[in-house]
Structure 1
Amino acid sequence: MPPRRPPPPLEVLLLVCCLLVFASYLSSYMRIPVVPLFARELGASTVLVGLINSAFLFMAGLFSFPLGVYSDRLGRKPLIIMGLAASAASALLLAASSSPLQLMGIYALFGLSLAAIGPTLMALVADISRPTHLGRSYGWFTTALYSGMSLGPALGGWLAQTLGFRPLFVVSALFLLLVIVLAWKYLPGETIAPREAHLPDWSQAIREVKGNRHLLGCWLATLGGCFALGMFITFAPLYFHDRGLSMTQIGVVFAVQGAVNALSRIPLGRLSDAVAHRWHQGVAGLLLVGASIAGFGLSHTLAHFLTAAVFLGISLGLAFTALGALIAEVVPLKSRGLAMGGYNTCIYLGMMASSALMGSVIKRLDFTGSFLLTGFFLFFISALFYLMVKGFSPPR
């Protein structure tokens, strides 16, 4: 029998994970700005377009947790490949769709596919990283992820304008099939870090979560931070327009926030490895998220909004590089898929909750009051997070 090849260096595996998450989110998010226009072309009303997008967020949030658990049982690689295959299938189905209701079902499948990809890749990054380098590993990983999420819509819009809706969906599917080949070839067949072969039953898994206040605190912080992000993504364009900003200026504000968010993650990941306790950085980041969101409510000019966008990008990077690494530390190795699944569930449900609830609040309080209220809500979440994680100190 030929000798077994040694696994690649951990740095190479981290690079593979970063390239895969960039490519998978780039190809998946090509369709994000296009599907609403495609749905309208098929006769969907504005309300139905919103329901189509809600189906995506709901399924991504609902299944991130259980699929994260199953990645602990089945292994990371099979679930990642199945998620990529489901995403490619959803793109091909979009190309063949003919009604808004079909789009809703297809977008539900799309949400399910990202629920399989996101938390599983995050758990794999934790598996292959040294404990002293978790922060910088997540800094590189989330930079790649957010870069794919930022460039995908721009590429998709250009391709849709050049080729049309249906050819774009085919291109997205072909790109994802290429990513599947790369994942099959370069991802390790099993997690490098030692793990137990079997996962406890669901009741035991739930007991582990209920008894882990540090994990629950991290999930709560994630939910709160993404509630604020959902407020920005959903309602800031309307607020900026009311303040007199043009569509181009609104795009610039969003681009600045996204660029600062992505680029800050690598140095802030290194910072989370250097500080004595990661949760200190998490608390500071959440407080700054609250102040930034409140700052939008007090802004009146383009310069004000750009300043708030810069601080929001930095604060999200500060909070979430620490949270991602901290979640990997507060659970045993065999439960990292579960922990990252819950983390991704909180991301999607936080944004979904903000989109669903804050519209009614804005009717009562106006935009200024609602952004200020969201900021104070983040201060409250920061305090709860502090109380739930204070004193935690993992071995380094």
Structure 2
Amino acid sequence: MSAESNPVRLGLVANLGQFSLLVVVNALVGGLLGQERILTAFGEDVFGITSYTTALVFIAVFGAAKAATNFFAGSLCDRYGRKPVLIAGWLVAIPVPLMLMFAPDWSWVIAANVLLGINQGLTWSTTVIMKIDLAGPNRRGLAMGLNEAAGYVAVAATSMATGWLAAEYGWQPGAFSLGAAYVAIALGLSVFAVRETAGHVDLEAESHIGGEHGLSTRQVLARTSLTDPTLSAVSQAGLVNNLNDGLAWGLLPILFAADGLSVADIGLIAAIYPAVWGFGQLATGLVSDRLGRKQFIVWGMLVQAVGLAAFAAADGFTAWVSAAVILGVGTAMVYPILLAAIGDTVHPTWRARAVGVYRLWRDAGFAIGALAAGLLADNYGIPTAITVVAALTAASGIVVALRMKETLRR
């Protein structure tokens, strides 16, 4: 079909088919991650790992690999286009579920998580960038809410399903069989159905107001990380958000297991937090398009701090479910809005790289959080580790309140 008969247009309605397809692809990205949310219980049950620091190494290497890949994903998208980067991410993922299904020791799990980090950095970053491309400036919050909701609802569903599969059929190979199906479906969709969105960037750039055109990658890195008050505030909030998520991912299943919860119950609680987070983003992203970004980020970080403090003080299934809901609400208030704020602030010609830098810092939080939480838990206990991270999360919200400017153009 010619360009004249199929013109490039911006907006969710104008690009509904491709946008919906990318929502499905991102759900599969999240699903592949979801099978890992109770891996610390897997390590303890199958390989007898009792050191918190050792158990959380798999999250640290995942976070480091994903953070580094995020940075390069933005530049690769600008240089080669979005679709080739998306396909490359799914090719990297092919061995991941197989390595978990047949791992003879914990080193295989760590190696699988290096590949998973690369996969997530390439695929999740690219689906974010492509949705921002398609949506244009007017519904950016809604677009990011839909994107992140799809990913984290899939994380929740697959976490619960993995716990059920492990309880019914054992950890290997049954618990990780869903991941192999996710990779096959997503690779097929990415190759045969997803279309390139670079043309939408060119269209938006023609009418974009504000932001400097043509920055180098070094300049983008400096601005997003440090010199621009709004972008740097957003980046540190993303880092702290995933720092506390790394703690929740790694330590909470161990805390629940120590209290005698079954694998199925652990999977259920591990699913509630990303489920509330995922569905909540459908509302927060949309409302932020009307009310603005900053207040959601500030209050969301503070609500997350309350949820973490509740985990430290709580005991028993019901109390932990309540804490998971609070933490999920706080994360939903923050997660898509941070991405929308980046898209609001930067010029379309360097937006992909800015998103990559932001996601570099955000996912570095997984590595920092996993290692810090493991060391604190080994030396002072899990409740102390959770309390320290809760305090850091509250401090991050205060930094946003002091440094960030509202980014939504009314």
Q: What TM-score, normalized by structure 1, do the two folds share?
A: 0.84
Q: Quick check: 1:223–1:347 contact (8 Å CA) kept in 2?
A: yes
Q: CA deviation at 1:389?
A: 0.8
Q: CA deviation at 1:28?
A: 5.7
Q: What residue ranges of structure 1 are gaps of 5+ in the alignment? A: none
Q: Is 1:115 aligned to residue 131 of structure 2?
A: no
Q: Is 1:377 aligned to residue 384 of structure 2?
A: no
Match of 2:191 in 1: 184
Q: Any idea what the Cα deviations from partners look like across 1:49-90, whole Å, max 9, x if unmatched?
A: 654554333211222112222212221111001111111244
Match of 1:60 in 2: 66
Match of 1:11 in 2: 16
Q: Quick check: 1:85–1:177 contact (8 Å CA) kept in 2?
A: no
Q: CA deviation at 1:363?
A: 5.1
Identity rate, percent: 19
Provide the aligned length of Structure 1 versus Structure 2: 393
Q: Following the alignment from structure 1 to structure 2, what is the Cα–Cα distance between the partners of residues 297 and 176?
A: 36
Match of 1:87 in 2: 93
Q: Is 1:255 aligned to residue 261 of structure 2?
A: no
Q: Following the alignment from structure 2 to structure 1, what is the Cα–Cα distance between the partners of residues 39 and 372?
A: 25
Q: Following the alignment from structure 1 to structure 2, what is the Cα–Cα distance between the partners of residues 384 and 51?
A: 29
Q: Following the alignment from structure 1 to structure 2, what is the Cα–Cα distance between the partners of residues 171 and 135?
A: 30
Q: Quick check: 2:133–2:197 contact (8 Å CA) kept in 1?
A: no
Q: Quick check: 1:34–1:157 contact (8 Å CA) kept in 2?
A: no
Q: Quick check: 2:297–2:334 contact (8 Å CA) kept in 1?
A: yes
Relative to 1, partners in 2 of residues 1:72 and 1:388: Cα closer, same or farther, differing over 3 Å?
farther
Q: Quick check: 2:159–2:271 contact (8 Å CA) kept in 1?
A: no
Question: Any residues of structure 2 matched to 1:301-380 within 5 Å, and which?
Answer: 301-362=316-377, 365-380=380-395
Q: CA deviation at 1:203?
A: 3.0
Relative to 1, partners in 2 of residues 1:288 and 1:176: Cα closer, same or farther, differing over 3 Å?
same
Amino acid at match of 2:15: L
Relative to 1, partners in 2 of residues 1:169 and 1:72: Cα closer, same or farther, differing over 3 Å?
same
Q: CA deviation at 1:166?
A: 5.7
Q: Quick check: 1:119–1:343 contact (8 Å CA) kept in 2?
A: no
Relative to 1, partners in 2 of residues 1:2 and 1:386: Cα closer, same or farther, differing over 3 Å?
closer
Match of 1:289 in 2: 304
Q: CA deviation at 1:98?
A: 6.6
Match of 1:21 in 2: 26
Match of 2:83 in 1: 77
Q: Following the alignment from structure 1 to structure 2, what is the Cα–Cα distance between the partners of residues 96 and 250?
A: 22
Match of 2:249 in 1: 233
Question: Any residues of structure 2 matched to 1:119-138 within 5 Å, and which?
Answer: 119-138=125-144
Q: Quick check: 1:286–1:316 contact (8 Å CA) kept in 2?
A: yes
Q: CA deviation at 1:228?
A: 1.9
Range 157-166 or range 214-223, more displaced: 157-166
Q: CA deviation at 1:394?
A: 4.1
Relative to 1, partners in 2 of residues 1:158 and 1:71: Cα closer, same or farther, differing over 3 Å?
same
Q: What residue ranges of structure 2 are gaps of 5+ in the alignment? A: 207-212
Q: Following the alignment from structure 2 to structure 1, what is the Cα–Cα distance between the partners of residues 266 and 41?
A: 19
Q: Secondary structure at the match of 1:189?
A: coil
Q: Following the alignment from structure 2 to structure 1, what is the Cα–Cα distance between the partners of residues 48 and 140?
A: 45
Q: Following the alignment from structure 2 to structure 1, what is the Cα–Cα distance between the partners of residues 282 and 361?
A: 23
Relative to 1, partners in 2 of residues 1:44 and 1:54: Cα closer, same or farther, differing over 3 Å?
farther
Q: Following the alignment from structure 1 to structure 2, what is the Cα–Cα distance between the partners of residues 164 and 363?
A: 26
Q: CA deviation at 1:121?
A: 1.0
Q: Quick check: 1:34–1:165 contact (8 Å CA) kept in 2?
A: no
Q: CA deviation at 1:20?
A: 0.8
Q: What TM-score, normalized by structure 2, do the two folds share?
A: 0.81
Q: Is 1:224 aligned to residue 240 of structure 2?
A: yes
